[in-house]
Each structure stands twice: as structure tokens, then as C-alpha cells.
Amino acid sequence: MIRQTYGAKDAHRGVDGTFMWFMQEVGELATALRGGSAAERAHEFADVLAWLATLANVCGVNLEDAVRHKYGGGCPGCGASPCRCDQSEKP
């Protein structure tokens, strides 16, 4: 969806410029998490996901396929869903 909507513009911006926009949106999400309303947090989550998808598109990565490949069968560590990995590994 992001590629269809913005793909032509994104190709001109390139990886470096797109990464900077992605990081700016991560910063805005951090701000929203610290004091924003529920609507503001939802807005920033959407922006971060959209810019992550844009970055993947610019890099030639199909984000949907990548996530499905890595996490579609459950936790990559233990293979279960929900994950049964030891919590101490990633507190």
C-alpha cells in the first residue's frame, strides 16, 4: 500500500533521506509515548510503520514477506506462539 501510494516519490529520496525521515518519526513517537493522547500515539505509530515500509521499499525489501517469513511460524527463537523463550534473554 505504501509503495503504491508513495513509491515513485520514495525512489527519488533514496535510502539516506528516507532513513532520516523514519528516525524523525521514531522521535515523534517517543514524544507521544511520554505525554501524548491516545489519538496522538496512534497517529505516530502509523507514521513509524509507514516510514519503515517506505525504507524497506527503497531498499528493495518486501516488508510484509520479510515479517511473515521471520515471524509467521511463531517465535524465531523457540518456534512457539505465544513465545516460550526464557524471559531473562530479553527482559
Q: Residue 55: name the closest of 8, 22, 9, 12 by CA.
A: 22
Q: Are 55 and 18 spatial neighbours (Cβ–Cβ below 8 Å)?
A: yes
Between 52 and 75, whose beta carbon lies closer to Zn ion? Answer: 75
Q: Which three cell numbers stand for residue 88?
A: 531473562
Between 37 and 87, whose beta carbon lies closer to Zn ion? Answer: 87
Between 49 and 85, whose beta carbon lies closer to Zn ion? Answer: 85
Q: Which amino acid is at 30?
A: A
Q: Provide the mask over 44-83, with x wherever binding to Zn ion is found by CB under 5 A and - wherever it is not.
A: -------------------------------x-xx----x
